[in-house]
Structure 1
Amino acid sequence: MRINSIKIKINNNAIILFVLLLPLFRPSCVTLYKNILQFYNIITFLAFCYLIIEYIIKKDYDFFSWIIISLESWVFLVTFFNKGARGEALYHLETIVILALIIKKYSNNIVMMTNVMMVHFECCIYINFITMLVCPSGFFDFSSKIYMSVGLETEYWFLGVANYFPRWFIPGLTIAWLYRYFNKKNVRCYLLTVIMLLSLLIKSSATCLVGFGVFLLFLLFPLIKKILRPKLIMLIAVVGVIYIVFMQKFDFLSPIIEGVLGKDMTFSNRLIIWKNAISAIANNPIQGYGIMNENEISRILGKFPSFVWEGATHCHDEILQIMFCGGIIGLFLYVMIFWKSLNSISKSWSMKEIQIVFCGCLAIFIMGITEITEYALLYIPLILGYWISYKKEIYNT
């Protein structure tokens, strides 16, 4: 009886966790259907309220979660008072805070949380792959004035256009390899990894390929992890951001950019977008502009010599995006989150699970050089890295 009751309790916890995670695993195709989108908005709001109220009632406050809540709240407030994209800002606030509080809540049972997340990623990525196999040219009827006006392809599958794949595949890769390590089972990890790679063969995403390459390179070659430590690796990456984005010196990358990724040396017009973003940030450096509506932001970031490019709807760099939306205050909070996590990861570097989540963190940071990574799922490695290390320190004291 006792054993059975324990099993029921574990299953109930897993079911509750699965439901709480639903808002984070909302497939992009949901936005095409008003009623389904409304359902997801409701469960997102309810999950957010439940976790915030529980957090306040238990008074189990921690500095790391407070920084995350502060960053997202700050960007939302700036957006609200600047009359920007309030709905989008609220969604970012809700989902990222939900993720932070869920990982904190279940940090005593990382294995169960990994297993439940694995199920979510498998469902979404496998369904997406099926829609790609059935209709390689796009499963859903999707049209976008901005995409069409700039000649971008609009093939839309379960997880959206190919540009959306990185926000699913890299955290999915992290969870898959954590699942393999915790459960000592290879098949599900390898299968999910292969399906993601096959998806990229059907419709390539240069950003996602870079992230995949970085993750697997650092994960599968132990010599790199022995020579380079987390703080040194991230320092090199930060110098790379400054050198490429702010100084715009990257001729040495031409074999990779032009040869491997098939891009031109303007990073597909990102150079001008970066310059416009830096100029805009300089005009409002303290608080930033919040999350703006697409038509408004394109008039700022898309100012080309002879026309306005409507496809410039974000800064195409995570650091610039944080500063554009939240100014220096936002950047300070973002750096604090990254530093707290990286510092914890460095203290527990010998742990295999820590090395796996760091590979995810590094891949996401590298992708953030040319894309924005301000999505809830992409925070999974960063937050997991902090709590895995933090719990180890508690158990060892």
Structure 2
Amino acid sequence: MNGSLKINKSDLRIFLFLFPFFEPWWFTRIGILDNLYDLLKLSVCFLILIRILQNKVKISSFAKIYMAYRLFICGVSLCRGVFDIGYLSESIQFISLFILIEYLIKSYGKRVLKIICIIFSIILFINIITYTPNGIIFEPKGFYLLGIRTRVAELAIPAIALTLFYCKSFNKGKLTLLIVLVSALSFFVFEWVATALTCTLFFFGILSLEKIIHKKFKQKYYGVLIFIVVACSLGVVFFNIQETFSDLIEKYLNKSVTLTGRTDLWEIAIDVVKEKWICGYGFKNQGDFVSMYDFTTTSHNQWLQTMFYGGAIGSILYYLLPLLSINKCIKESKYNKTVGILLIGLATIIIMCTTEICMDNAYYLTFIICMYNCKEFYSYGKSK
């Protein structure tokens, strides 16, 4: 019948496999919902294991690097006497998600990207429609659907980059992109999440210059961009280079060069990390290792947090993932310029990682897998 709603079975299958792995933080506080998500994730993990044993699903070398990282942290935790069953459970879930997404991308191509964008847009939309100035409408205590206000950017930035990439590459998903942008930016403005707003401005600012600069520097542009962003991020944490611009930061931006006290945290964190810099401490105390005054917290920096968990060895394993993804995307950008959106997205995430921990979640993991497998999205096989 004309005008009837048609649901593609492949799309529905992909959606049902993926959505359990993106459980919003607030759902973990509701027993029945949390148990349902756990049951669904367990079912998918079990199905993946069976497929692997049947040799129907192959584990890529890219996924093996991530597996090695997670198993290394578990091993270090065991040796240090801080083994955490919760971290092991999370590792199994994330490894399963990793293998699942790669398998689905190779089987269905851009359909997977479309469903990922839809899932992300749904979560961001629910986050904004349940918003109140004091927290989620059901429990206004300063927490939102995705947790504290700064955690929303962990989903929003990858979602913006992926949906824009999908929209520009295939001229589809404009409504999904609109939902993501309106939901994310509305929340950032309502709560005035300065870091997220700055990163969003950076993303679209660099994107607007991309066409002009790319013509002159071509693929080298993206490599230089990532290098500069990483150098600046490390410079802020280890060398306090932001003090060079103290007048600009304090007088005109009305911000402190200590980045709301984070530089004090980093000084303590660096001293702690130095003591076990080769293998790290493992997943100790839920990642809280910086003691200040009467509380203990995380380092509020991705570089230091990764060093704390796995030291130099763990960091090398972990950062191999974005390095390999960057290499793949730069090569693909020669043929498909829209891949540059993903590289600019990663640069934006790296900026966020200076003051937050943004790479230890399913959203970033999904983003980096999509980056590495970007070439598959342009394959138009029968099943794609």
TM-score bracket for the superposition, by shorter chain length: 0.7 to 0.9
**Residue 17 of structure 1 contacts residue 113 of structure 1 at CA under 8 Å; is this kept in 2?**
yes
Q: Which residue of 2 aligns with 1:123?
A: 122
Question: Which consecutive segments of 4 or more residues in structure 1 shift more than 6 A?
Answer: 390-395
Counterpart amino acid of residue 192 in structure 1: V
CA distance in 1, matches of 2:373, 2:258: 39
Conserved? CA contact 1:244–1:250, under 8 Å: yes
The answer to whether the 8 A contact 1:48-1:97 is kept is no
Q: Is residue 375 of structure 1 aligned with residue 361 of structure 2?
A: yes
Alpha-carbon distance in structure 1 between the residues aligned to 2:193 and 2:374: 31
2:344 corresponds to 1:359: yes
Deviations 1:246-282 (A, max 9, x none): 1222124446754787542111221122122221121
TM-score calculated relative to the size of structure 1: 0.83
Measured at CA, do residues 393 and 124 of structure 1 come closer, stay the same or move farther in structure 2, by a change above 3 Å? closer
2:262 partner letter: R
- Determine if the alignment matches structure 1 residue 177 to structure 2 residue 169: no
1:70-91 per-position Cα deviation (integer Å, ceiling 9, x unaligned): 1122223333454547244235
Q: Distance in 2 between matches of 1:381 and 1:206?
A: 23
Q: Gaps (5+ residues) in structure 1? A: 1-6, 144-153
1:229 aligned partner, one-letter code:
Y
Partner in structure 1 of residue 238 of structure 2: 246
C-alpha distance in structure 2 between counterparts of 1:102 and 1:258, whole Å: 47
Share of identical aligned residues, percent?
A: 23
Task: Note the C-alpha offset of 1:173.
Answer: 0.5
Q: TM-score if structure 2 supplies the norm length?
A: 0.86
After TM superposition, the structure 1 = structure 2 runs for residues 166-245 of structure 1, keeping only pairs within 5 Å, are 166-185=153-172, 186-221=174-209, 222-226=211-215, 227=217, 229-245=221-237
Mapped to 2, the partners of 1:178 and 1:78 lie a distance apart of 38
Which is further off, 30-39 or 247-256? 247-256
Residue deviations 1:57-80 (CA, integer Å, cap 9, x gap) = 236232111111111222233334
- Mapped pair 1:323 → 2:307: yes
Matches within 5 A, 1:1-397: 11-56=8-53, 57-58=55-56, 60-84=58-82, 86-108=84-106, 109-132=108-131, 135-139=132-136, 154-185=141-172, 186-221=174-209, 222-226=211-215, 227=217, 229-254=221-246, 257-258=249-250, 263-294=255-286, 298=288, 300-303=289-292, 307-310=293-296, 312=297, 314-350=298-334, 351-373=336-358, 374-389=360-375
- More off after superposition, 164-173 vs 87-96: 87-96
Task: Find the aligned partners of 1:287 and 1:325 in 2 and give their Cα distance.
Answer: 8
- In the alignment, is the contact (CA less than 8 A) between 2:282 and 2:310 conserved in 1? yes
Distance 2:379 2:33 in 1: 43
SS in 1 for 2:230: helix
- The answer to whether the 8 A contact 1:166-1:211 is kept is no
Please provide the CA RMSD for this pair: 2.9
Counterpart-to-counterpart distance in 2, 1:193 and 1:22: 20
Cα drift, residue 211 of structure 1: 2.5
Bigger shift: residues 251-260 or 378-387: 251-260
